[in-house]
Structure formats: structure tokens, C-alpha cells
Amino acid sequence: MPTLPNTAFIATLALPRTTTEMHSQNQSCSLRAKDQENYLLTKESPGEKTLVFQMAPQCIARLFLRVPSVDLVGGYYDAGDNVKFGFPMAFTTTMLSWSVIEFGGLMKGELGHAKDAIRWATDYLLKATAQPDTIFVQVGDAGKDHACWERPEDMDTPRSVFKINKNAPGTEVAAETAAALAAASLVFRKSDPNYSKILARRAISVFEFADKYRGAYSNELRPVVCPYYCDFSGYQVDYLLGDNPMKMSFMVGYGPRYPQRIHHRGSSLPSIGVHRSKIQCSAGFSVMNSQSPNPNILTGAVVGGPDQNDRFPDQRSDYEQSEPATYINAPLVGALAYLAHSFGQL
């Protein structure tokens, strides 16, 4: 078995954070062509525009002509883009919380880092669930965001907001959000009992909402069935960290050979410290399509990995294989803690 990362919880360090988001309470969705110009500008600040669109009938919520502001500061981008998706964020939080619940006693000096990562997410989820029978489940227009290759600091795409409520329910994302808050409440039960109680109370109210107003978050879920029961002996971790036909670690920054061109805007574009001027929306695609290694090593990020034939092209454009994501990292934390402790490395 290869030596595990110096910190078994290096995975938590790769979670991309957002820090400066204040949005109007608005919703948007895929627009009909004739509606694309029919919008109201409700907020404009440096690097950010928030729009309210006239929505097609299939959209998830009603248009608000007068929109009070809602604080959605914080949270995580789920992967290599600049969108905050509530469903994967909640799943990430649930898995990371259970890693701490089950293996926190083995984490030693890294336990505080793991708790910090959880709290960053739950602070956001508390904001996203602050209004009764409402959950804000997405910040950012995925279509417009994916049409740009920009650093988070340069974002100028609409920070549109999606929500679910009793008129437009989303049972799956609501229940997962409740699970995240409940699991996190156990994490902080001893170290911060007041915060734990806040999380538990909110988890109950969110679950009641999920149970009372039932409806599909998405009508086109793709079933994913694991072809075999996963072996917890460590084989998968060995493979991930380099014991594979390519002799390549799929955790960025770990081992002598690891992905160099991951599908991640902040990692692939020059940092603000190096390139002070703004990189425009489409200008970054020259970098995205290049063969140059990413200048910013996203240490600890785990990518999608090889194909069924153990091949990994290491191409930024191949997001299925080369994009890291929080929901890839989070379940790995507990497994690494258990195995590192079992092999005397922690």
C-alpha cells in the first residue's frame, strides 16, 4: 500500500470556497428564445450582476418583481466551475461530517481542519434554508458560467438564484440538505453544543418541508448502479494513489506523477498575484485548450479518474475524467483516516 498523504485529510483543502456573494432573491432557468431579453436588472456590483428573468412555464419558481435581498455568502463551488449547486454541496457536507463522526478520533491534528471545512458549508446551508418552506439550491447560471473560463475573482456572469418551495418542491435536495445539517450537528455536539442545536433544529424543519411537499428535483435522473460491492481493504485507495496500470496518482500533488491539466478554472488560469489585470469571459479558453500544465497546483483535489480501460489522457477539456469535485473528495476523508491509522501512518 502506498504511503498515504502527509495529512489524510488533505482532501478537505481542495474544496473551492466562495466568499463574497450577496444576491437578490430571484430565480432563473433555461429561457425560451423569445424571453431571453425580457429581464430586470435587480442588483449590480463590481464583478457581479444579478438578474431576474421572465421564466418559461416549466421553471421551478415564480418571478418576483420586488425582490428582498438574501445573504448567500459562502459555501463551495462543487467542482471546477464557479457555480454553487446545493445538492452536491449538501452531499459533500454529509459525507465529510460522517467521516468525522466515524473517524474523527483518528484524525489527531487534522480534526480541526475537517471541522472548519464542514462549518464553512453548514454556515451557508443555514442561510440557504433561513426562510420557511424555502431552500435556495443554486447560485449562478450554469449555462452562462460554462460558456466562460474565468477565475472566481473575474466573474461577470449572472449570479442567478434558484430555489425550491412548497409550490415548486424538490424532495431529493431538501432531504439531503436536512441530512447534511443533521450529520453536522453530531460533529459539533461536544465542541460547540449551541451551534449543534441550531443545526439540529434546522435539520428537523428542513426535513419536515421535504416530507410535506414532495416532488422531483429533476425529472431526468440517471440511475448509477455500482457493478460490484466496494472492497474496503484498501484496493481502491491504492489504485487512486498510484498502484494502477498508469502508475499515476489521481490526487493532485500526491506522488511523483499526478494530473497536470485538471479541468478547474482557478487552477488553470494565472493567479491574481501573477496576472493582476482582468481575464475576460472567453479569453481563458486559450488556456483551457492548451497543453500547458496548470500553474496553480490544487493540492489534494481528486479528479474523475481513468476510463474503463485504465486510460487517463490528462486533458483539461475532458471534464468527465479531469475535473475535481467536492463530492469526490468528501467520502475519501474517512477512508484515508481509517487506512492511515490502520497502517500506522497517523
- 316-328 confidence digits (pLDDT tens): 999 999 999 999 9
Residue 14 predicted with pLDDT over 70: no
Instruction: Kindly report which listed range (31-35, 126-130, 238-242) carries the lowest average pLDDT score.
Output: 31-35
User: What is the overall mean pLDDT for the chain?
Assistant: 80
9: number of Cβ within 10 Å:
29
Instruction: Please report which confidence band the pLDDT of residue 124 belongs to, taking 50, 70 and 90 as the band edges.
Output: very high
Threshold 0.75, pTM exceeds: no
Residue 284 predicted with pLDDT over 50: yes
pLDDT of the residue at 68: 56
Helix axes 111-128, 86-103, angle to 10 degrees: 140
Residue 32 predicted with pLDDT over 90: no
Does residue 263 have an active-site annotation?
A: yes
Q: Quick one: average pLDDT of 277-281?
A: 95
pLDDT of the residue at 314: 97
From 21, 78, 176, 263, active-site residue: 263
| Residues 127, 147 contacting (CB under 8 angstroms) | no
Residue 19 predicted with pLDDT over 70: no
pLDDT tens by residue, 199-221: 999 999 999 999 999 987 653 22
Beta bridge partners of 136: 163
Does residue 314 have an active-site annotation?
A: yes
324: number of Cβ within 10 Å:
27
Does residue 323 have an active-site annotation?
A: yes
pLDDT tens by residue, 38-51: 222 223 233 333 33
pLDDT tens by residue, 218-260: 532 233 223 333 344 567 888 999 999 999 999 999 999 999 9
Instruction: Please report which confidence band the pLDDT of residue 346 belongs to, taking 50, 70 and 90 as the band edges.
Output: confident
pLDDT of the residue at 101: 97
Cell numbers at 76, concatenated: 463551495
From 78, 145, 150, 323, active-site residue: 323
pLDDT of the residue at 235: 72
Helix or strand (DSSP H, E) at 85? strand 84-85
Residue indicated by cell numbers 472567453: 282
pLDDT tens by residue, 88-102: 999 999 999 999 999
From 314, 318, 320, 341, active-site residue: 314
Nearest Cα residue to 8 out of 93, 94, 105, 90: 105
pLDDT of the residue at 249: 97
| Residues 92, 184 contacting (CB under 8 angstroms) | no
